[in-house]
Amino acid sequence: MLSLIPKVALVSDSSAGIGHETALVLSRNGYYTYAGIRDVTLSRELSRVAKEEKLPLRIVQLDVNSDSSVNLGVKTVLREQNRVDLLVNNLGYILLGCFEDISMDEMKAQFETNFYGTVRTAQAVLPVMRKHRSRIIINVSSIAGTIGFPVSSVFVSSQFAVEGLSESMRFELEAGMVRITNFPNSMVIANNAKKSSSPYSKITRKLTDWQYRTND
């Protein structure tokens, strides 16, 4: 029998462009969709379409640059639906300028949104996704995540970071893993990853057994 419980989607930025259309497509296809928007005053058009078409879509304030905003937004979804089946990470902007012309503050701001924004939302939903054995996360990047371009070196770097994160997450969240053996002495293990209470303790220990042997 088909489940009568609709799947729940969260789109990190639905204010315009790809995110706006993604939220509409998902809600039109049966997902109860939470449309994240940093500035909710920009949600009027999306709200109008959702109301006209009677779509299962709800606006939720979400600023991917803020831990508290992301956590509060995800808590709102979980309080109302008790699950997240699909996360679409799509917020980002392009910082233009050659490498030497980019200040450190501008570089940090680019990564704060394009990379760490993706990290925040993914980490916020993963515990409940594992609980319900539902693990669909779409991290939207760019062709700039596979090939470099001039006058956008920092943006390109942020997209390469998203691509690398996504590929590694895929191995971590699927059954099975790829063992990486190069340059073990340059690796640093995150503090939470060392804890046996981590849901990833087994896979982490497998990959980093060289470190445990060194410390034992």
Q: Where along the chain do its domains lie? A: 8-176, 178-216
Task: Read off the pTM.
Answer: 0.83
Taking only the tens place, the pLDDT of each residue in 56-96 is 999 999 999 999 999 999 999 999 999 999 999 998 999 99
**How far is CA 107 from its chain centroid?**
20
Q: Is domain 8-176 annotated with CATH 3.30.70.20? A: no
At 111 the three-state DSSP class reads helix
Residues 174-210 pLDDT 10s? 754 444 344 444 456 667 877 888 887 777 777 666 5
pLDDT at 46 (0 to 100): 97
Q: Where are the beta strands (DSSP E) in the chain?
A: 8-11, 32-37, 57-61, 86-89, 136-139
